[in-house]
Every structure is written in C-alpha cells, then in structure tokens.
Structure 1
C-alpha cells in the first residue's frame, strides 16, 4: 500500500465513503440552509464549519500543487468560520455544498496525478514535515469537524 492510496482513502472516507464514520456528504445531503445557519449555544453553525473546511482544504491544495508554503501571511483562524448573514438562503447553501464537493474531488485528482516521491518530500518551510503527513493531518482535521457537524445536526433535529 502506498502513501497515495492511503491518502486517497482518507479523503474519500471524509467526503463520501461510509466506513468508520458517516461522511460529510451523507450528513449534509438533507440539511437545509436554515438548519445549516442555526447557531448552537457555542455560536457554531454547520455552515460556518463547512466554510472553515473549504478554506483549509483549498489553502492546502493550493500549497500542494504550487509547493509554496508561506506562513508569514497567517490568517486569523476564526475568520475562516465566517458566515455572511446576508447570504443565508438555499441557493447559497447549495453553492457552498458544490464548493465542498469540488475541493474534495480536486484533492483526489491531485493525489491520483502526483508521484509517490512528492508525498515523501519534506517541506523545509513547514516544520520539516513530509507532504504525506501534512495531507494526513488535514484529513484528521476534516474528520474532527465532520464529527462536530454531525453533533450539530443531531442537536438541531432534536429541537
């Protein structure tokens, strides 16, 4: 088994392959814009967490493809959870779900097309980590937030 096949398996498990946990695609399939924008007691929303996942998956895919990692342009992580209150409607929610699907598809495509040697390549500007480790940790990050989304959905549906 190669790093590439493991990482593709992890990305797929997060998006649409039900294995150890329910993937995000299945969780969100029947969530409405109103539900996605519902604020929990902790001021979290499904939609804002999805925006956060899109942001970090796009950012790391861009870095993976370009092989440029600049950490001096550090973003405030709280800003990646932003949800524009003026754009809460079914059309915008569907557009968000399309972006989510596209970023996961783009990750799978990028991994399928890359050489195994890229995945073992060390990133000197990112703590000396290898690409396989960075992508694997991104998948762990995705799984963490997918769990949050599942819990929020359950809380919303129980009310």
Structure 2
C-alpha cells in the first residue's frame, strides 16, 4: 500500500468513513447552530470553535502542500484559530461552516489522489525536514484528537 492510499484512508476515517470512531461528518450532521456554539464552562471551546480550528489547519496545510512551500515563520496565534463571530451564530452560518469543512476534506482527497507518490516522500526543509507523508499523517492525528473532543462535548450536551 502506498503513502497516498494510507493518507487518503486516514483522512476519510476522520471525516466520513466509519472506522475506530464516529467520523466528523456523522457527529456534526444533526447539530444546529445553538448546539454547535454551546459552551458549558467559561474558557472552554464550543464544537463550532473546534471545527473552525480544524478548518484553519487543514486549509493551511493543504495550501502549503499544493504550493509545495512551507514558510519557516509561523505568525499564527493558535488560540485565534478557534474564534467564532458571535454575531453570526445562526443555522445559515453553521451550514456554511460545515460546507467549508466538507470542502477542505474533499480538496485534500483530490490533492492526494492527484499527487505522485514521490511528492509525499519529499522533505520540508523549513519544517524540521519532515517528509510530506509525515506531516499529512500528523494532521490526521490532530483531526482525530479534536474529533474525540467534539464527540465528548456533544455527549455532555445530552446530559445537561
């Protein structure tokens, strides 16, 4: 099996294929904006905020992957990637967020399917000389970590 096939499998397990855990699409599909933006305790992130964080990092690394360029300077404040606009907490905006999430996972699939295998073994000098396959694999681990958080937040809403 190729790196490409493994990475596509990992991305799909995170987003829509049932595997070891419930995929993100299935967790989110029945939530409305009020549920997605619900925060039980001050200082915690809502499901919507975590989804925004996932969108940000998946889009950022996809952009880098397509351009085959990683800038060594990272001026992103990670906490800012969780931001949601309090004036747009409605079902229309939530559906737009879900569409953007679906799009980035679809775009990742397409980018990987269109890649030559050797691109995935190229090292990224500005990013610890990590190979692309390792970076994308770690992105999937990052996705899975936050999917677990989202599932726990969703379950906790049913018990309040």
TM-score by structure 2 length? 0.97
Shift of 1:68: 1.2
For structure 2, the residue ranges without an aligned partner over 5 or more in a row are none
1:51-75 C-alpha deviation (Å, 9 max, x unpaired) = 0000000000000000111131420
Alignment partner of 1:128 is 2:129: yes
- 1-10 or 35-44, larger mean C-alpha shift: 35-44
The secondary structure found in structure 2 opposite 1:126 is coil
Q: Which residue of 2 aligns with 1:26?
A: 26
Task: Tell me which stretches of 4 or more aligned residues in structure 1 moved more than 2 Å.
Answer: none
How does the TM-score come out when normalised to structure 1? 0.98
- Written as runs of structure 1 = structure 2, the 5 A alignment for 1:3-152 is 3-41=3-41, 42-152=43-153
* 2-structure distance, mates of 1:84, 1:18: 31
The 2-side partners of 1:37 and 1:94 are apart by 13
**Structure 1, gaps ≥5 residues long:** none
Shift of 1:45: 0.1
**Larger CA deviation: 146-155 vs 34-43:** 34-43
Q: Distance in 2 between matches of 1:129 and 1:54?
A: 22
RMSD of aligned residue pairs (Cα, Å) = 0.7
